[in-house]
Amino acid sequence: MNPVSIVTTWADTVGLTLQYQTLRPLLLGGIHTGYQASLPVFSRQLDQLWSDVQSLSRQGPLADGKAPFRIWLANVVAWAEKTGQSTAGLAELLAAQGLAEPPPATPAAGIAVPGDGGHVDVLFLSANPDREKLLNLDREQNEIQAITEATLERHRFRLAAWPDIKLSQLAPRLLRLKPQVLHFSGHGGKQGDLLLRGENGEARSVPAAALADILEIVGSSLRLVILNACYSDVLSEAIVARLDVAVVGMTRAVSDPTALQYSRGLYQGLFDGLTPHDAHRIAAANLSGRPDETAPALRVRDGSQVAKQLLWV
pLDDT band at 24 (very low <50, low <70, confident <90, very high): low
The answer on pLDDT for 285 being more than 90 is yes
Residue 248: beta bridge partners?
A: 226, 298
Q: Which domains does the chain have, with CATH numbers?
A: 3-96 (no CATH), 120-308 (3.40.50.1460)
Average pLDDT, the chain: 73
Look at residue 94 and tell me whether its pLDDT is greater than 80. no
CA triplet 289, 232, 241: central angle to 5 degrees?
Answer: 125
Q: Please tell me the predicted confidence (pLDDT) of residue 75.
A: 55
For 122-131, how does the pLDDT look when each residue is reduced to its tens digit (9 = 90+)? 999 988 876 5
Q: Which residue has the higher pLDDT, 212 or 162?
A: 212
Mean pLDDT value across residues 84-113: 43
Position 113 scores a pLDDT of 37
The tens digit of pLDDT for each residue in 204-245 reads 899 999 999 999 999 999 999 999 999 999 999 999 999 999
How is 175-218 classified by DSSP, letter by letter?
HHH--SEEEEES-B-TTS-EEEE-TTS-EEEE-HHHHHHHHHHH
Handedness of CA 22, 5, 99, 119 (dihedral sign): positive
Distance, CA of 216 to CA of 264 (rounded, Å): 27
pLDDT tens-place string over residues 36-45? 555 555 555 5
Tell me the pLDDT band of 48, cut-offs 50, 70 and 90. Answer: low
